[in-house]
Each structure stands twice: as C-alpha cells, then as structure tokens.
Chain A
Amino acid sequence: MNPVRAGASHKAFSLDRIAAIASNTLTELTRLKVFYVLLLFACVLIGSSVLMARLSFQQEFQVLKDISLGAMSIFTSLLAIVATARMLPQDTEDRIVYTILAKPVPRFEYLLGKLLGVLLLLAISTLIMSALFLALLYSREHAALAATNRQMAGLPQEQLHAALQSIRDSTFNPDLLPGISVIFLKACLLASLTIFISTFATSQIFTVVVTVFVYFIGHLQGTAREFWLQGHSAGWLARTFLAVVALLFPDLQLFNLADEVVAGAAIPLAIFLKTAALGAFYTVIYLLFATAIFSAKEL
C-alpha cells in the first residue's frame, strides 16, 4: 500500500482502458434486458407468417424478407438511440462518471468506450436477428421445396429442376448480407449521433426526441439535397431551408439498401464499400464532435 506508482508515466491512449469501459457498458446494457427487443423481433417474424397464408411462395419470401429486414432496421435503430441516450445522464446521476474521470482516463476514451459498448450490443443483436431470420428463411425454403417436389412428382426432371431452382433463387440471396451490414452501420451512425446530442442535451427525453427527429429528417435529406443542388426552388427562403437541411442532417436513405436487395437488385461491391465508408465516416465525426463538447463540459 505504499505509494510506489507515483510518477509512473501516463499513457495518453490506452486500449485496455477503452476495453474496460466498453465491456462494462455492454454488461450494463445486457442487464437492462435490452435483448427483449430480440424476442419482439422473433414475434414479428412469427406473426408475419399469418399474413402469408394466402400468398404464393415467391410472394411469401419477398414479404418475409421485407418484414424481417424492415423490423431489423427499426429495432437496431431504436436500440441504438434508446440505449445510448440514457448512458451519459445515468452515469452522471449515479456519479459513476466522476469516479471514472477521476482516474487517469481522458474524456475521449470514456466516450469511445461507451460508444464501443453500444456498438458491440448492436453487433450482437444484428447477428442474432440475422440468424433467426436466415433460419426461418431456410426452413420456409425447405418446406417450399418439399411441397414442390410433391406437387410436381410426375413431371419431367427439367421442369422440376427449374421450379426448384426458382424457389432457391427467391429465398437466399448473397446480397442480403451487405444489406444487413448497412442496416448495422446505420444503427452505429445513430448511436454516435445520440452520444453527440446527449453531450449537450439537458435530459434523456430531449436526446431521444431530437435523435428521432433527425432520424425522420435524415430520410428526407436526400430529396431536399438533390432538390437544392438542382436549383429548382425559386424563393431564397426555400433554398436556404433546403440547404440547411442538406448540410445539417445525414442522408439516412443511403443506408437503405435492403429494399432494393429484396426486390432482386444486385449491389455492386463499390457501392457497398462507399456506403460503408460513409457510415463509418459519420460515426467517427459524430464521436469527435461529442468529444469536443464533452471535454469542455462541467460535470
């Protein structure tokens, strides 16, 4: 217990510290039973099958994929916003933030650790939801293949093969994976944005409301931006408004590749990589903004 470590050199950046905060955050979120969202997701999947009773298998697969990916998108986004919005206010209220920052922990590391904890949670949730979705898709595919085999028992091999192939084509499509990755990236962006907003927000409710507002505007931003860039709008007031929307908000519509994937469009690698890079860029920028504000914040 002698003060032997005094004067030991301080590391300006430490992955160990960040990892400790991230894993602590993840544990905390897990304890909050946020994974009930996954249960809800499973219910949506099961519930959706009620809708499909009257559809043909191709229609059924399309609807199943749309519902699953749509639910995945809303659930990961909600999870990102709600889980992140409570972090800073909760830590301040519990005075945990004082105990952490009174250790030799730079504020940037604190925020990064917190964000990484949420991103881990989002990654785990996305993986579990994808697994549930793909398992359901696989079992439905098998059921459809078996039914087709039975119905077409007497018909020539070529026709049977074509029918089976068309079922396989309409179920799993490798482009689903980039589609799901982009859904995850959108959630990461939202988590980072939420941290940014919560560094200057006065309450948790304020953070959630503002982020949800940004979420909706973000889906419109693309339309506003293109309208502004093409110089259609006549009045300067309208033009200024469009410009502010275009500059202030992220284009969340760009992170919606899943719709097109389900409809059958192929996603070129370059497009996927650019979208991913944009998502990562946003996530980093918002974290830097958050750090800038949080570093000067009176706790």
Chain B
Amino acid sequence: MIEAAVVVTGVTKTFPVPFKRRSVLAVRDLSLRVDAGQVYGLLGPNGSGKSTTLKIILGLVAPTRGKAEIFARDSTEVASREAVGFLPENPYFPKYLTGAETLRFYGKLCGLSSRALTKKIQELLELVGLTSAGDRRLGGYSKGMLQRIGLAQALVNEPRLVVLDEPTAGVDPVGSREIRDLILDLKKRGITVLLSSHLLDQVQEVCDRVGILANGELVSEGAVNELLAVENQTEVVFEAGSEELTRQIEALINTAGGRLIDCRKSRKTLERLFLDVTLK
C-alpha cells in the first residue's frame, strides 16, 4: 500500500460564537486521505471549510472531534511540521525584507545553518524563477512574484508535503500558469501537494485527485479523470475536415445506433488566447 501523506479521520470543528449559546459548524465528520506523491485538490465555495480543514491538518486549529495526521504523526505535535511547507492565502510578507532575507528567516526557523542556507536560498530562488529579484525588497514584487517567494518559503525545509491555500488567488493568468508549472514540478520531484481552490479548471489541470467540500462536508471525492468522465459519451476532434465529412460521420453514427449530441467549431480557451497574446 502506498504511504499516506495526510490522513484525516472523522474531524468535526465547531467555533463558538461569543455571547451566544450556539456555535458555528465549520467542518462536519470529515475523513480524507492523501497518498504520498499525489497532487490533491480541495474544492469548494467560499466558506465551505477548506481553510479550516487545512489549518487542522497543519495543527493551527485543534479539531473538536477526530484527528489529523501527517506522515503518521499527529498534527498537534510540533514535530509533525518538520515534513510540511505551507503557503497561506494572500500572505503579506514583510515588505522591507528582500526575497533572500525572507527565505533566510524561514530557513532559520527550520533549524538550517547559515552556510547550508546560503546554498539553499540560491537553489530555491532559481526554482521559482526569482534569481535576479532575490536582492530586491518584497515591497517591489508583483503579486505573482510574492506567491512564488511564498512557495519558495514553504519549500525551504525540503518538505515531503506542501500545503497551498488558494495559491493562485489574485494572481494574473501568466503568474498562475507559472505556479501551476511549479506544482507539477514538485510532483515530479515526488513531493505531495495538497491545495485548496475555487478555480475549478486550474485544479482540473494539475490535480490527480479532488475532494469537494460544501457546508463543511465532503460531498464528492475521487480521481479527477474518473469524476469528470461522462458515461457513454466520446468526443472526436479532427482537422481540415469539410462539411461533407461531418455529414458522413453523422450518418455513420445514426446507422450504428448512436446519437450526435453536438457538432461545433473547436475553440481555444480565453486563457490560452491570453497566454498566446501576452507571452509573445
């Protein structure tokens, strides 16, 4: 059996409301498992409990019931964080620090020596494509650069699991494409990635497996390919075909007892168009 990076068992979390008897239910009886090496996407509308679930996994919030484990260590143990890197949603790193200084600070928190850090920082800046910006203050970084330095920060202790909360929120398509590439890069290196998002097509592109949360409950879970495959339907895409060819195909389908549902011109996505135009 493949090693589990994250195991959440029967977690319920309620937040008390000050001065009221009732409390708010953020997560209800949630169980999920992320295998090592997977990219797992946690989906759901705003307020569905995604961030709370991630915080429980990271030990930032204690579950009311149930438990969360990272590589078989309870999340409430500080030591479980040895193997984790985390990028919260929209972090504001100190503006007066340079990219390299930011990474140095987080490296020290992970107990890295100064010498090991100097090498590590160069490596990370290269990985996230900020080598030339490493000596600039974060105050002058774009949103995408900030997300990338945040990702580098999460990687400083060479974690086996990286947790990303809305990694592309507020980032332009070019920036979010870069982050997507980085995530795929991490996967290639054998690092498990757990991310939350409400931008579905992005998740579709990078994730092996997704879980969908609604009102604090896991309503659907499974491999992306399985979840999205539509039973009993097949798409055919071809190039340089004439109207006649299309008619013949339709006739063929009809004689075989099938039914043509739709026939249209292929379109590129708006994102593809944006990337093609802006990256020239």
Q: Which residues of A pack against B, CB within 8 Å?
A: 1-8, 10-12, 14, 16-17, 19-21, 24, 27-28, 31, 93-96, 98-106, 296, 298-299
Contacts and interface: CB of A to CB of B under 8 A. Distances in A.
Query: Ordered nearest first, which 3 A-B pairs have the shortest CB separation?
Result: A102-B86, A20-B108, A10-B79
Contacts of A7: 82
B178 interface: no
B92 interface: yes
B82 A102 contact: no
A98 B86 contact: yes
Nearest to A298: B61
A105 B61 CA distance: 15
Interface string B32-63: 00000000000000000000000100111110
Contacts of A4: 158
B140 interface: no
Interface in B62-93: 62, 71, 78-79, 81-93
Contacts of B83: 3, 6
Given A28-B94, A103-B81, A95 B89 contact: yes
Contacts of B123: 1
Given A6-B158, A12-B78, A102-B84, 6 more contacts: A5-B82, A8-B82, A96-B93, A103-B106, A104-B78, A299-B60
B15 A3 contact: no
A102 to B, nearest CB: 4
Contacts of A101: 58-60, 81
Contacts of B196: none
B11 interface: no
Contacts of A106: 78
B227 to A, nearest CB: 29
B159 interface: yes
B189 A2 contact: yes
29 contacts: A1-B127, A1-B189, A2-B189, A3-B83, A3-B191, A5-B82, A5-B158, A6-B82, A10-B78, A16-B108, A17-B111, A27-B97, A31-B94, A94-B91, A95-B89, A95-B92, A96-B92, A96-B93, A98-B86, A98-B91, A99-B86, A99-B91, A100-B106, A101-B59, A101-B81, A102-B58, A102-B60, A104-B78, A296-B62
B170 interface: no
A106 B85 CA distance: 15
B109 interface: yes
Contact of B109 (A12, A20, A27): A20
Contacts of A104: 78-79, 81-82, 109-111, 157
